[in-house]
Structure 1
Amino acid sequence: MAAVVIRYAGIRRILPLDAPTLLSALLEQAEVPLAKPCGGAHTCGKCKVRAYGALSPLSQEERRLLTIGEQLENWRLACAAEAVGDCTIEVGEAVSAQIQTAGQVNSWEGSSLFGAEGYALAADIGTTTVAVYLVSLSEPFSGACPSTSELNAQAPYGADVISRIASVSQKGVVPLREAILRQLDRLFISLLETAGVPKQAVRGVVLTGNTTMLHLAAGLDPSGIAAAPYIPQSLFGVLYSARGWFPSLSPAVQVYLAPCISAYLGGDLTCALLSSPLRQWELLIDVGTNGEMALMTPDGLFCCSTAAGPAFEGAGLRCGRTAGPGAIDRVAIREGIPDCRVIGGGPALGICGTGAIHAVAALLEAGLLDETGLLDERYGEEFPLQNGVVLTQQDIRQLQLAKAAIAAGADTLLHHAGVSCDRLAGVSLAGGFGSYIDPAAAMRIGLLPRISAPVVSMGNAAGMGACLCAQSEPALHEAERIAQDARTIELASDPFFNERYIEQMLFTP
């Protein structure tokens, strides 16, 4: 029988091979993290690995997405290349990221659903990142607690909810459920050990996330979310036993999944609203792959969700990467020459979403990008930034689509509430990405409404809300009330949104 040698992070693993197998499937079997933003659709070219030995010939997709130099240096696309005999796969170090776990929070009175003693664990399962928290049940939650985070282990199944759902249709829900539960179980135990808390002291777990992420965690098929009439199997707000969820915890531990508002307005928005209640005419936006937003009005809470896609997370951009060491996160252009700030210093390895927003804003200010998003002709199809990192014309188009979706969603909420942008009392940005956005750059490209009122980062408001649900039963019931009473604006069938989406594609001054 043939064997496949996998080298990753200084570790050498050997897997048997009895039939031609995709390199991505072998890496998945070996639990080696691999970026696949397109979910294996052969469109992003991000799953590059070095491979030697008995391999399938270069596919058409690989010839298109790999440079000649990369092909000569034995780079392959894990989603396209197959191992057909004895071979070796080399995977680089996992990409680290700046993941926001902290956030602002209001305190709540009342004891926990899980009891008055011991501890609870909480987790915000984002499409891109996962943050976990350890909450004491014997004292009010102040927002300060032990936490840790990682990139979501489901990333090999796609960068956004639609590609994850497509992966479920091909492979079933079990692989994706096992990936996230294994990751959470490991992070929980690591957090407990770091804090010096025995696992026997854990009384409950609260999970939040968008509706798709919670379906995957619960092992429910989310396919109803992806097609009209967009009906999820559950909007949660329910308790489960930890048996079959987290093997490291006692089966007596209860697992609560936060209440969702609709198919695309998840428990993450509910928890964000719980931890950072809005003033009248204040807008909350979670700028991410699945852009969720809410507007508080005298008539109640108006909410909507818009598919921004993974561009703001760096996925889908030619040189895109998560916000971590080596990523460009700030760009200024002086006399046509870019001045880039790189996270951690050193040479640039790529550009993250905040850096891409800065780059587009800088290009607009320098007159090197017109309002239609067309680069100055002297640069052709790409603008050089630093150390071979570029922003391409296609990258700019992806950012246009993403920012138009967010901006048109905000415009639609204001339209249905019957109020103009200048009436806004402020904008709160929730989520890890929102924590690092430069409001001036975001306003310049039209991502955020141009207002003089404050624009405030709330940090990981969803994670803070999950902690509140864990620590206070009255807070948990308030989250359920928020989800029940919120008024959802369905953008897919809204003529105003469709009109504004086209208009917001422009980078108007």
Structure 2
Amino acid sequence: MDCSKTACKFREAEKLYIQIVQDENEYSIEIDKGENLLRGMQRHDIFVKAPCGGTGVCGKCKVQIKEGNIPAAAEDQLYFSQDELEKGYRLACQAYPTENCSVFIEAANEDQFRIVSDYSGKPMEKNSWIQSFRIAIVPSDFQKNKSLVTLFNEKLGGDYTYSKRSLMKLVHLMDQKQSIPNTVRDGHKTVIECILEEQCIIDIFIDEEATAYGIAIDIGTTTIAMQMIELISGEVLGNHSLLNRQRGYGEDVISRIQYSNEGNLDKLSKCIQEDILKGIYDLCQTTSVNLERIVKIAIVGNTTMLHLLLGLSCTSLAVHPFQSITTALHEFHFSEIFGQLSLECKVIILPGVSTYVGADIIAGMLYCGFHEEKETTLLIDIGTNGEMAIGNKDKILSLSTAAGPALEGGNIQYGTGSIRGAISRVEIDKDKLSYRTIGDLPPIGICGSGVIDIVASCCKNGIIDETGRFSECYEDGVVEVARTVEDQAIVFTQKDVREVQLAKSALRSGIEILMQRMEIVPEEIERVYIAGGFGGGVNIDSAITIGLIPKELKDKIVSVGNSALGGAAAYLINRKNRDRIEEILKKTSYIELSTDMHFQDLFVNNMFFYGVGNGEST
């Protein structure tokens, strides 16, 4: 008898064999009959872009069936032309093979993804965790009936503990004692440099310059950014960035949580751990830093990303009361997280406020100086989860809004990330539309800044009304923006407008809630920090035109880049910042919006585009 319960662990499903061609690679995988192509490929670690997590609403998991027959689903009819359907194009998440087949996946074209891995703002005060002390060793030191630890502590003038790394250096010193000069008459002596953190000698250098390195890491939902820092001097040596491979399992944190809760926690955890390991090795290579010299790593990210990194269950993150396992500061040995001993160093996970205001926002507030601001300051980190905070050195309020990925090009029919060829600027002057792409290359899709420009231009020119509906001149509900080199139209649809309305309303309503709870008006805000890639790429005039940001804040906006990475770096560079983070946490309150009826009212009101036809906004 054929059992329909495909999720049953006791069920032995019929197997199908799928031949896959992706870029220059070929794979042969086995999937269960009744399993869709997307899930089957994900199980075999084959990446296919799926911003919606495989629910069929984004239309991005495009594949082409070369051999075999997979009937077109209703969702396929929405995203492919009749010609494309006849050529075998399908959504992988809706494709359920009933026979062996051959599948072609187009190149992801994400190797040139523009990732914000730098920050700009106030110069950071340096006060290193690491201190360096020099002592001299002579042959007579080895004639004493004392351990080397006791000998070193006497010369250093303190009672210090020693790391395993430093003890192994003492073993090396003992083995090499015969090479130490028998006399110091000519002034020659063996100079030992000890690296100290708090009361622990963490490394020892014999006749060589002492160095100690730290790495700051920001785990974003889409990207990972990291920075190498020489801890004694505080000098930044270089940056590195890469894409978070977890994005193949969903663009936003909710999709990741759902996928994790379906029994895939270990897969997502391993995925981010491997990405970070690769990033560390690549960063060491580009900065010419020996892995053995890394002594500290500071990691920030939203609470979900940190749970996945640590392999912690995400079950409670998506259901009321949205309780996390932890948002506290934690310190681990490298091997406890990454399961290997390639680095002998500490890993510090910085703290967050709540399940949806994580360590990335706390780090951003540290970098922007909330702990010392007398005037009211607003920080907005616009991503798939719109996190923001308002306050000063006395009081801070924070919240998170479910903005979704539309403002980063997600859930937009022809949306894409900030890659070369993405349409990043759009202007409509009467009936003439002009655009610009990243790298001035032929257009391949529309990234977040281009999406906002399109909607703003449509508002200014009366192409859409205040409800977001296209005018009668656009009966088919699309605006053609450009054409690809294959002469395929890149269009912006009515559904795309609705996605932008949802995102901009969530963010604008969050800003208004913060101001109301702080009992201030926009004019009383001294400065607005916009963090992330959005701040550096978006046309602020367009953001104000669509009502994303109050127009009164226009001249107060400062783009700070990756403030989360800046905060992680600040933690490594200045030991006082641990206390400052605790100070920020004590003064920060979290506003839960899911049960806030006033937020719901604001959300409905802010869905509208006010001032349509004249470029004005509220």
Correspondence list, 1:148-159, <5 A: 148-159=240-251
Matched with 1:103 is: 119
Whether the aligned pair in 2 keeps the contact of 1:6 and 1:14 (CA below 8 Å) is: yes
1:53–1:85 CA contact under 8 A, matched in 2 = no
**Any gaps of 5 or more consecutive residues in structure 2?**
1-14, 131-195, 203-210, 484-488, 612-618
User: Does the aligned pair in 2 maintain the 1:50–1:90 contact within 8 Å?
Assistant: yes
1:439 and 2:540 equivalent? yes
- Corresponding letter in the other structure for 1:505: M
Give the TM-score normalised by structure 1: 0.94
1:229 aligns with one of 316, 321, 342: 321
- Cα distance change on mapping 1:316 and 1:137 into 2, 3 Å: same
Q: 1:60 to 1:353 in 2, by over 3 A?
A: same
Report the alpha carbon displacement of residue 252 of structure 1 after superposing the two structures with TM: 3.3
Q: Could you tell me how far apart the structure 2 residues matched to 1:225 and 1:30 are?
A: 27
Q: Deviations over 1:142-182 (max 9, x none)?
A: xx441222222111211111111111121331111111111
CA contact (8 A) 2:261 2:314 kept: no
The residue aligned with 1:385 is 481
Q: How far has the Cα of 1:299 moved from its partner?
A: 4.4
- Equivalents in 1 of 2:424, 2:542: separation in Å? 12
1:436-455 deviations in whole A, cap 9, x for unaligned?
12111111111111125321
Structure 1 pair 395/63, CA: closer, same or farther in 2 (3 Å)? closer
Q: Select 1:406's aligned residue among 507, 515, 519.
A: 507
Amino acid paired to 1:474: K
Cα distance in structure 2, aligned partners of 1:299 and 1:485:
7
Asked if 2 retains the 8 angstrom alpha-carbon contact of 1:383 and 1:391, the reply is: yes
The aligned amino acid for 1:129 is T
Matched, 1:494 2:591: no
Q: Structure 1 segments of 4 or more deviating over 6 A?
A: none
Q: Give the AA of the match of 2:367.
A: S
SS at match of 1:245: helix
* TM-score of the aligned structures, taking structure 2 as reference length: 0.78
Q: Deviations 1:458-499 (Å, cap 9, x if unpaired)? A: 000001111222333322332233223212122222233222
> For structure 1, which segment, 6-15 or 215-224, has the greater mean C-alpha deviation from structure 2 after superposition?
6-15
Note the 1:81-96 alignment, pairs <5 A: 81-83=95-97, 86-96=100-110
Q: Counterpart of 2:395 in structure 1: which amino acid?
A: G
| Equivalence for 1:112 | 129
Query: In the TM superposition, what are the counterparts of 1:79-478 in structure 2 within 5 Å?
Result: 79-83=93-97, 86-96=100-110, 97-104=113-120, 105-112=122-129, 115=197, 117-141=211-235, 144-246=236-338, 250=342, 252-278=344-370, 279=373, 280-297=375-392, 299-380=394-475, 381-387=477-483, 388-451=489-552, 452-478=554-580
Structure 1 distance, partners of 2:463, 2:89, is 34
In the aligned structure 1, how far is the partner of 2:404 from the partner of 2:536? 18
Deviation at 1:62, TM superposition (A): 3.0
Distance, in Å, in 2 between the alignment partners of 1:16 and 1:393 is 39
How big is the alpha-carbon RMSD for the aligned residues of Structure 1 and Structure 2? Answer: 2.2
Q: CA deviation at 1:84?
A: 5.2
Distance 2:537 2:237 in 1: 21
Count of residues paired in the alignment: 507
Say which is worse superposed, 332-341 or 277-286, in terms of deviation.
277-286
Q: Does the Cα contact within 8 Å between 1:124 and 1:131 map onto a contact in 2?
A: yes
Q: Give the one of 34, 37, 45 matched to 1:31.
A: 45
| Residues 64 and 454 of structure 1: CA distance in aligned 2, closer, same or farther (over 3 Å) | closer
Contact 1:106–1:275 at 8 Å: present in 2 too? Answer: no
Q: Distance in 1 between matches of 2:103 and 2:280?
A: 31
Name the CA shift for 1:354/1:419 in 2 (closer, same or farther; >3 Å). same
- Is contact 1:329–1:351 with CA below 8 Å preserved after alignment? yes
Q: Does 1:67 find its partner at 2:81?
A: yes
Relative to structure 2, which stretch is displaced further, 56-65 or 372-381?
56-65
AA aligned to 1:408 is S
Question: Partners in 1 of 2:407 and 2:564 — Cα distance?
Answer: 18
Computing the radius of gyration from Cα coordinates, the structure with the larger value is: 2
Deviations 1:35-59 (A, max 9, x none): 1111111222110122322454333
Q: How many angstroms apart in 2 are the aligned matches of 1:332 and 1:464? A: 33
* Equivalent position SS for 1:256: strand
In structure 2, relative to structure 1, the CA distance for the partners of 1:136 and 1:384 (3 Å cut) is same
- Does the 8 Å CA contact 1:290/1:305 hold for their aligned counterparts? yes
Q: Tell me, yes or no, if the aligned pair for 2:237 and 2:287 is still in contact at 8 Å.
A: no
How far 1:296 sits from its partner (Å)? 1.5
Q: Distance in 1 between matches of 2:295 and 2:106?
A: 39
- Residues 238-258 of structure 1 show CA distances to partners (whole Å, capped at 9, x for unaligned) of 012222533565363222111
Gaps of at least 5 residues in structure 1 are: none
> What SS does structure 2 have at the residue aligned with 1:370?
coil
User: SS of 1:255's equivalent?
Assistant: strand
Which residue pairs with 2:90 in the alignment? 76
Contact 1:200 1:249 in 2 (8 A): no
- Report 1:43-58 matches (<5 A): 43-54=57-68, 56-58=70-72
